[in-house]
Amino acid sequence: MLSWNTFRDAALNAGESRIYGGIHFYEGNVSGLELGKKVGTNAFQKAQAYWTGTVQPAAQGRN
């Protein structure tokens, strides 16, 4: 059974496994982890805005 202390630890381990398995190159893994961190941060900030009732309406024409 696998377990991790944090979601980040799980993501790092998953990325490494794809390098070792020959599915991804190192640089692709690094780029993917950086992008995932940015997406996760933005998603969490948006969720917090909903939780606190401070969410801003979407700009016209954007989803």
Low-confidence ranges of the chain (pLDDT < 50): none
Question: What are the boundaries of each domain within the chain?
Answer: 7-51
Q: pTM (2 decimals)?
A: 0.67
pLDDT digits (tens, 9 = 90+) for 30-41: 999 999 999 999
CA 41 distance to own-chain centroid: 7
Give dist(CA 42, CA 45) in Å, integer: 5
At 61 the pLDDT is 60
- What DSSP designation does 8 have? H
User: Which residues does 36 contact at the CB level (< 8 Å), separation at least 6?
Assistant: 11
